[in-house]
Structure 1
Amino acid sequence: MKKHNFSAGPSILPQQTIKGTAEAILDFNNSGLSLMEISHRSKGFQAVMDEAIELFKELLNIPEGYSVIFLGGGASLQFCMAPFNLLEKKAAYLNTGTWANKAMKEAKLFGEVVEVATSKPDNYTYIPKNYEIPADADYFHITTNNTIFGTELHTDIDSPVPLVADMSSDIFARVIDVSKYGLIYGGAQKNLAPAGVTFVIVKDELLGKVSRPIPTMLDYRTHIENGSMFNTPPVVPIYAAVETLRWLKAMGGVPAMEKLNKEKATILYNEIDRNPLFRGTCAVEDRSLMNVCFVMTDEYKDLEADFLKFAIEKGMDGIKGHRSVGGFRASIYNAMPKESVQALIDCMQEFEKQHAK
């Protein structure tokens, strides 16, 4: 039976990434050595790192004056690393979910944090609008896609202060204007690579302005100056990222991926809205293209466990909703083929035929 991987992360990766990385683990570039055992300072791996940076800049159209680095620690480390490097007196945060909340908590260790708006009272079912960004803030932090609650920012914000964005779950999923951002970061395990590497895109002129001393490993400048090689980088995930970036470029780049992502999300949301057994959980205008969250309608609430069992039997893997929300979550990241989304729709329709009153 074919498996359809709707897991929220670690999540589906292109077959090219899986196969190419597996081959390199067995024999990297016909060297007779495994990717897992080569020196990160070898010419072979330096070429991998150079290509990763080059493809990031090309696919995202990153302007001059920005650096791309690859770190460990996941996006969770960036929750403190960003304010460590950028927060002198005050930072502003848009609270749209669990990860934004965690980022705010860490930032409070370094200075004043202003929550400009939140949708927490409504269980983060929408993206707040019509808020004011303090002009005296050192930066404004957003989480562009909220994996747990299924909401997403679909446009780039115009901010009067440097814009910092956690793009862990929607990087390369839509066209962005990097020039509007001061810092973009994210864990790799949604749209890029296996867990273990974190990407950071930072505007160089923002660094070196805080008065506090920064530990060497937590200073972005350390990693920029050393080409992400200050210490041993996560070699295997970086190689996997390059395979994904090659695949993405061959697919037509980010514009082509955005078009496909909209098509996939549209057909799935249309089925949720049509099917009397299901309903969406968040504001229609803020629905995520990456994480489609839905529940059983009140009339059919008692069938939730039955549908989950039915879907798993049909090969739908990872669709159980996050424990803090419940229901279902279909994560349809870049590597998710449209055929798998259609398979889930077929599954929902078959269940409807069996149970609709």
Structure 2
Amino acid sequence: MHMRARIVSRISQGLALLVMGIALTSPGVHAAERKKAVAKKAASTAVAKRTPAKSSAKAPRRTVAVKAARASAVSARAPVRVAAEPARLSFGQLAGLHDVSDPLDLKSSVALVIDQDTKEVLLSKNDHAVLPIASLTKLMTGLLVSEAHLPMDELITITQDDVDTEKGSGSRLAVGTTLSRGELLHLALMSSENRAAHALGRTFPGGLDTFVARMNAKAKLLGMADTRFVEPTGLSSRNQSSAHDLATLVNVAHGDALLRELSTSPSHEVAIGRRTLQYNNTNRLVKSPSWDIGLQKTGYISEAGRCLVMQAEVAGRKLIMVFLDSAGKFSRLGDAERVRSWVEKTHPSAGAILHAGTNG
């Protein structure tokens, strides 16, 4: 009995397996399976297609993100560089001289206007302050060269010794350039050419040290007690003077016809080999029909600010003007215009003299 039951059970299991096998091998099943395979393959292809598209879509966003991050980093660094390298203040700014006001609202922290004939002081502001004078130095350089009566046609060659090691400034007078002493003097006074001025001092009889000693001796002889020179260009901030001393120098230099001519020349061309170089005056007022300038010199280094000295005739009066430590590229010229306008309108007498601070 039990044996028969086991046989029947095994036969039933065999029949079930047989039916299942037939079902699995039928065409309908194959179609369904093929459909599933095709669907699976299509899905895989779609995924494969979507994947590169997704990557390529992300790539630009990533590039933009990287660029934005880099730009942000640069922007973040920029203020740090600015903070690490602030604009250098002039000696006058450090001393608080710009805090002193004056009736003409001058932008120069030091100013002095004197009647050349009567020595009457028409305007003064911090006129005894001793400050760096930059290329106003070249007025003393030119005075000594002119008074030495050295041959102006003597040829002088620019050497490596004339290259600026003080400020690292450039020059169109390359090492090896040869010009006459007269040409170098012209460029030094009119265009404030540093290598020209240095070469004039270097080739002075006795050499550069002798020339600088002569500069200081001349200043002492003229009573310029606040003045000291260490080199002939003005690139060193140790070349210092006061407005009163500079007015004295302008007065003496104005008596030299050569300095008058060269310092007020609007422009000049020099031939260097096959080239012709055009130089212009650093003081554009010499070209103005509103001005009658007899002598002038500009100067600038960061320690000195913008500087200007002039002898000019205004409203029938011969005036000596000194402006030191002016803030702004054109402000020294603006100050000169303010003074000229004021003199023309008021023809000041002793009762109309303007005074501001006289900081020492």
Q: Which has the higher helix share?
A: 2
Q: Which has the larger radius of gyration?
A: 2
Instruction: Give the structure-2-normalised TM-score.
Output: 0.23
Instruction: Give the structure-1-normalised TM-score.
Output: 0.23
